[in-house]
Amino acid sequence: MNSTSLQAFPCRTWVEVDLDALRANVRAIREHLREGVKVMAVMKANAYGHGVKAMVRALRGRVDFFGVANLREGVEVRDEDEETPIFLLGPALAEERGEIIRRGFLPAVCSLEELKAYAALAGDTPFAIHLKIDTGMGRVGFLEGDLRGLMEAIRLFPNIWVTGVATHLPVADEDAGATTEQLAGFRGIVERLAGVSPVPLLVHAMNSAGMIGFPVGVGELVRVGLTLYGSAPIGSFQDHVRGILTWKVRMTQIRRVPAGHGVSYGRTFRTERPSDLATLAVGYADGYPRHLSGRGAEVLIRGQRCPVLGRVTMDQIVVDVSGLAGVGLEEEVVLLGRQGEEEILAAELAGKAGTIAWEIFTGIGPRVERVYLFEKSGRVSENDFVDPSSY
Domain chopping of the chain, boundaries? 19-231, 245-384
**Model-level pTM greater than 0.95?**
no
Q: Which residues of the chain have pLDDT under 70?
A: 1-9, 216, 375-391
19-231, superfamily in CATH?
A: Alanine racemase (3.20.20.10)
Hey, which CATH number is domain 245-384, 1.10.3470.10, 2.130.10.10, 3.30.300.20, 2.40.37.10? Answer: 2.40.37.10
* pLDDT at res. 380: 58
* pLDDT at res. 6: 45
Classify each residue of 239-265 as buried b or exposed e, where b means 16 or more C-beta atoms within 10 Å of its C-beta.
ebbbbbbbbbbbbeeeeebeeebebbe
* pLDDT at res. 385: 53
Looking at the annotation, which residues are catalytic?
44, 265
* pLDDT at res. 288: 98
* pLDDT at res. 197: 82
Provide the sign of the torsion angle of the four alpha carbons 294, 300, 306, 311, taken in this order.
Answer: negative
